[in-house]
Amino acid sequence: MPRFRSNRAIIVLAAFTALSFMPDPAHADAIDGDWCSDHGRRISIAGPSATTPKGVKLQGNYTRHTFSFTMPDAENDAGAAVEMVLQGETQVRVLIGPNAPEIWKRCPPGIS
């Protein structure tokens, strides 16, 4: 009987160890996703593609942690350079033209 308990302990320990190395899907280490500003603006990034607050689809310069583009004509700040840099799993620093940088957060579930 002690041998059975010892084997079970080893199996449980191995399972916990394996689970601790699995990636956590709830926290992405990439700029992809939906971002919301404190002023109600939103942008959705999927690789080099993005959708602006007014629904304009565009292509930008994408890396895993950065995204940049020129604000399209239909948007406020049209023609301004936009630079976004991931600041962690839940926030991104956004610089739109000459404006002061802002920190945007991942949009809550159900908002995109």
Model pTM above 0.85: no
**SS3 of residue 34 by DSSP:** strand
How does strand 42-46 pair with strand 61-62? unpaired
Q: How far apart are CA 22 and CA 52, in angstroms?
A: 33
Tens of pLDDT along 36-77?
A: 999 999 999 999 999 998 999 999 999 999 999 999 999 989
For residue 37, the enclosing domain spans 26-106
pLDDT score of 10? 53
Higher pLDDT, 55 or 8: 55
Q: Is beta strand 81-86 parallel, antiparallel or unpaired with respect to 91-96? A: antiparallel
In a domain, 100, yes or no: yes
Question: Is pLDDT at 8 greater than 70 in this prediction?
Answer: no
In angstroms, rounded to a whole number, what is the distance separating the alpha carbons of residues 49 and 46? 5
> pLDDT value at position 24?
37
Evaluate whether residue 92 is within a structural domain. yes
Residue 11 belongs to some domain of the structure: no
